[in-house]
C-alpha cells in the first residue's frame, strides 16, 4: 500500500489502483481527518455542529463499517490470491 499511496500522492491514480485499490480512499480519508483536526486546533474549538454533527452521531457505525470493509476486502484478496485468480504484486 506504500507504493500505491505514493503514486496517489503524485497524481498517478491508475498505477495507484493497480498496486492497491484502497490507497486513494485512504489518502482522502487521512487528508479529511487531518484538515478537520487542524481546523479544530487553529480555531480552538470542536466542530460538532453542522455540517459535522452527523459524524458525532454516527461515529461508532462509521468506524465499525470501515473495520468490516477492510477485513472483508483483505479476506477477498487473500482468497483470490489463494485460488490463483489474483496474482500478488
Q: For residue 49, what pLDDT is reported?
A: 67
- Residue 59 corresponds to which cell in the numbers above? 461515529
Q: For residue 81, what pLDDT is reported?
A: 85
- With H, G, I as helix, E, B as strand and everything else as coil, classify residue 53: helix
Count of all residues that appear for the chain in the document = 89
Distance CA 57, CA 68 (A): 19
Task: Please report the DSSP string for 63-80 in residue order.
Answer: HHHHHHHHHHHHHHHHHH
- Residue 53 corresponds to which cell in the numbers above? 454533527
What are the residue ranges spanned by the domains of the chain? Answer: 1-47, 58-89
Reported as a single tens digit per residue, the pLDDT across 28-87 is: 888 888 887 888 888 887 766 666 667 667 778 888 988 898 899 889 888 988 888 877
Do 51 and 33 contact (CB within 8 A), yes or no? no
Reported as a single tens digit per residue, the pLDDT across 51-67 is: 666 766 777 888 898 88
Q: For residue 72, what pLDDT is reported?
A: 92
Amino acid at each position: 500500500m506504500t507504493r500505491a499511496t505514493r503514486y496517489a500522492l503524485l497524481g498517478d491514480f491508475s498505477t495507484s489502483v493497480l498496486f492497491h485499490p484502497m490507497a486513494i480512499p485512504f489518502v482522502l480519508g487521512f487528508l479529511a481527518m487531518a484538515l478537520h483536526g487542524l481546523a479544530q486546533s487553529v480555531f480552538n474549538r470542536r466542530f460538532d455542529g453542522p455540517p459535522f454533527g452527523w459524524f458525532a452521531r454516527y461515529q461508532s457505525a462509521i468506524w465499525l463499517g470501515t473495520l468490516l470493509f477492510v477485513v472483508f476486502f483483505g479476506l477477498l484478496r487473500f482468497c483470490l490470491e489463494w485460488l490463483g485468480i489474483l496474482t500478488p504484486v
